[in-house]
A and B are shown apart, each in its own frame.
Chain A
Amino acid sequence: MLEVSNLECVRGDRRLFAGMNFSVQPGELLHVHGPNGSGKTSLLRMLCGLAAPAEGEIRWNGESIRGLREDYFKEMTYFGHLAGIKEELTALENLRVAVQLAGGDSAEDSLLDALGRMGLAGREDLPAKVLSQGQKRRVALARLLLCPTRLWILDEPFTALDVAAVKVVQQLLSEHLHNGGMVVLTTHQEVDIPAGTVRRIHLN
């Protein structure tokens, strides 16, 4: 379970938000809303441990994530604005490196299956630089299929994806929630998640 207490975020000399409290339970999706510049990405970067909060604490199963570090990273997958794709490597190589580092299932068949499910069958061996923006994001999202983490923190996962890919990702999200996973995401699109509870936070 992810708990946040009294969280404050300061960017430059502007305070984006303060006194934020919430928790995410297994099977729950937290949808962070807000206009551009309201601190959505800052919040997500704090939740995954990349940035330190100005004040307050983030706890995973009751322990501060700053202390847990690698133990927390074992259970968390972050998907940010930058897809984390190397242009010179092929789709398959990119996915293999990402999954190996995250400690997931990096068997050749599983990698190919995951790419296939993301609609990249036949493009596994193309260097990422010839893939379109949306296809690169699909390669990056294929990670979610292979890393058995419980908490997904997704920053605008639907950007640059076409309708079919959005559908696949939504399906992934509902499967994950159904299996007791947790999701925190920001998106300007409507999320259509039937299973599990969707909670909303509005930043302004």
Chain B
Amino acid sequence: MNRVESVDSSLWSGFRCIVARDLTLAMRRRADVLTTLFFFVIVVSLFPLGVGPEMATLRMMAPGVVWVAALLASMLSLERMFSADYRDGTLEQMLLTPQPLPVLVLGKVFAHWLVSGLPLVLIAPLLGVQYDLPPEGLLILAVSLLIGTPVLSLIGAIGAGLTLGVRGGGVLVSLLVLPLYIPVLIFGAGGVDAVMSGLGAQAHLSLLGAFLLGALILAPWAAGAALRISME
């Protein structure tokens, strides 16, 4: 019993240590964090300006536009997930610690989501107002992003791990990861559509939740394996 507890606490401590470190780093490099957020805000805000003030059209395209912008913003920040650690040698040291690698990867993904995914979730309802979304639409938009963006970070971690140290890795990671984002996009945007047409978003959100659980279980292992391959 004691032994199990001590293993638990050491798992937890590795996770906490990585999250705390990455959040401290993000606070000291705010420009990186703000780039993603501003990109999202600007892309979402450009559409109403380009399409014109037709309310019905805007309402119809809102879920898709916001979700595609979230996908691209998450893409934009992916390359940073491991590359700085790779360049200064901290990743090398991470691979050689007695902590299980998937737990450390999960810590990195969680910290990455906190600084690049969560701000999008929080600001999305505000941006949705530009598209004249009804309140229940705004709510489901935020909820679907809350469940969906961690999936993007988790899947993205695999791509970021595989393309580490590769020349032109940024482009390659988009090609690898964007196709895998498609189901999340369909059910995320679909949920908002459904609630606006009066069908209820439960089915879509449940599926997104299932994606999240699946990704939580599989992605840290896959990304850990990808990192080991990239370091050789």
Contact = CB atoms under 8 A, between A and B. Distances in A.
Interface band, chain B: 20 to 34
Contact of A100 (B13, B88, B92, B231): B13
A198 interface: no
Contact of B10 (A80, A84, A87, A103): A103
A201 interface: no
Contact of B98 (A50, A74, A78, A89): A74
A101 B95 contact: no
Contacts of B174: none
Interface string B85-103: 0011110111111111000
Interface stretch (B22-30, B147-155, B179-187): B22-30
A82 B92 contact: yes
Contacts of A165: none
B16 to A, nearest CB: 9
Contacts of A83: 88-89
A80 B17 CA distance: 22
Contact of A103 (B25, B87, B94, B98): B98
B21 interface: yes
Given A50-B231, A73-B96, 20 more contacts: A50-B92, A50-B96, A51-B231, A51-B232, A70-B98, A70-B99, A70-B100, A84-B89, A84-B90, A89-B24, A93-B24, A97-B17, A100-B13, A101-B93, A101-B94, A101-B99, A101-B104, A102-B97, A102-B98, A103-B97
Contact of B29 (A76, A85, A88, A101): A88
Interface residues of A, number: 28
A100 B232 contact: no
Nearest to B232: A51
Nearest to B25: A88
Given A93-B24, A97-B17, A85 B100 contact: no
Contacts of B100: 70
B14 interface: yes
A157 B232 CA distance: 21
Given A97-B17, A101-B17, A86 B232 contact: no
A48 B96 contact: yes
Interface of A: 48-52, 70-71, 73-74, 76, 78, 80-89, 93, 97-98, 100-103
Q: Which of A80, A83, A84, A87 has the most CB of B within 10 A?
A: A84
A78 B96 contact: yes
A53 to B, nearest CB: 11
Nearest to A77: B96
A84 B17 contact: no
B97 A73 contact: yes
Contacts of A80: 89, 92
A49 B88 contact: no
Q: 5 closest pairs, A vs B, by CB? A: A82-B89, A84-B89, A74-B98, A88-B28, A101-B97
A131 to B, nearest CB: 13
Nearest to B228: A50
A71 B24 CA distance: 30
27 contacts: A50-B92, A50-B95, A50-B231, A51-B231, A51-B232, A52-B232, A70-B98, A70-B99, A70-B100, A73-B96, A78-B92, A78-B93, A82-B89, A84-B90, A84-B93, A85-B88, A86-B25, A86-B88, A89-B21, A89-B28, A98-B93, A100-B17, A101-B17, A101-B18, A101-B93, A101-B94, A101-B97
A84 B92 CA distance: 8
Contacts of A103: 10, 97-99
Contacts of A51: 231-232
